[in-house]
Structure 1
Amino acid sequence: MIKKAYADTSAGQCHYRFTEGDGLPIIFLHQTPSSSLMFEAMMKQLSGMNMYAIDTPGFGQSFDPIGTPNIGDYARWIIEVIDFLNLDQFHLFGHHTGSSLATQITLERPNNVMSLSMIGPFFADKEEKIELLKNMNTDWSPDENGDFLNTVWHLTGEVLGATGNLALQHRETLDALRAHYSSHQSHHAIWDQDLINSFKSIKCPCLVMCSKDDVMYPFFKKTKLIKSDSTTHEIKGKNLGPDLDTEAIANKFKSFINTIEIL
């Protein structure tokens, strides 16, 4: 059974989903503008394991940050959740923005993170970020005509990849509508992060996955150039792999961490 609860942090309460099970805890961190809901299918597929999926501040049912938090702020809040839960050693699994956050947490808590798994990390350099900004539209703030609803429906369907799965698109749309402001905050945080050099510094085993039609796929191809000892694996599901390629991703991830725990 997937249960839900809240953890106290210095800035507010964070909502999380969890299952009680065996092995080292697994902590899932979601993409923007989703929530921990995006990992429920994975948690069911990995039934019997000890798992936590946390709503990043500003998303799902967690508190809304004030101002312009940086990646260190987000990492500090999630670490406070981890400490609240009394988790010592654990595996981290991040998706898109969650990958950036998981990397920062790994840098700050290297003795606690036993492995780092990521889907679609944002390995863009300064020039690539400037180019991306020219064509990036992340504004779906409410407007009187309701046009923002069509904007979000297009985002979750055509961009994220939920088209053809009405229940999934509806779920992602609701998450995105809730996060219209906090998405700007989190994007600002990861834009200012030097993820490439941060990833180079990671010492624990790393698994990096991505789908060929994921918006992050061009950066995924840099993985081995950045960190040659990382494990890479292509998946399916566009930007919603945990929902659309659940079994394959869960199996790859489980075999990866099982090898680590044997050592």
Structure 2
Amino acid sequence: MASSLLPATAALVAMHWGMRYWAPAAAGGDPERRIFAAVLAAALRGLVFAVLILTTLLLQAAAAGEPGTAAAISAGVAVVEGALFGGMGVAVAALGWRAGRTRVAGWALALFLVAGSVAAAAFLVPAVRTEEPVTVALNIERAPDGSTVAYECSAVSVGVAEVYRTERVMWLPAASPSVLFVMLAGDAGTGAGLIRSLSAAFQEAADGTQVLCVNGEPRSRDAQRMPMAAVGLLLQAAVAGALLLGAHAAADRRRRSA
């Protein structure tokens, strides 16, 4: 389980480094170069942290006689999170708020993405509850991780069932570094049994296939599945990009008004 928690740790410390590195980088000069220098410094420190993660997890895997795939995935996610969350930290600090407000905003954002997004999705599950007719499922096919990938539906009704349309909210937890690791490790067929089970559960929730044959609708093998890892990375990149654009504009305004 350490391999799933370390990417989240990398994200949190990267946010701290990003906010910290803006201060020494902010002494004059072009705002774009200053922001880039601060992001690069945070990302490089995140890279060093990822190397430490990789070394630690590889030693742990070797001692347990297990492959190092999960260690490599965990370290890879840590590298990405170091760059993205480091960029968010720099951007929050570069917005020009007071130090206390900057720290509160930065940590609130980091904690929401790391853990709050998962909690928010869980909180919203009752809001997507519906009652819909269900028919008998036939010829069910499952992926290696246990998630349902295809099935046919008969005309035999089993009545009205309670259905949670979790596919409407699963984009939220996708932004969590730990969920990102779980999905990548699950896709690679590596990690502990718990990680593979979590990956399958997340994917089923994202696809909305916990209850089969809702409204008698079958699912084919080529049906679109939510790529949770890609969605999570895109969400994080969008947040980081929007914040960096805002920070650049704020720094540029301060430079012109000085």
Relative to the length of structure 2, the TM-score reads 0.24
Query: Higher RCO, 1 or 2 (CA under 8 Å, sep at least 6)?
Result: 2
Q: TM-score, normalised by structure 1?
A: 0.24
- Greater per-residue strand proportion: 1
Select the structure of larger CA radius of gyration.
2
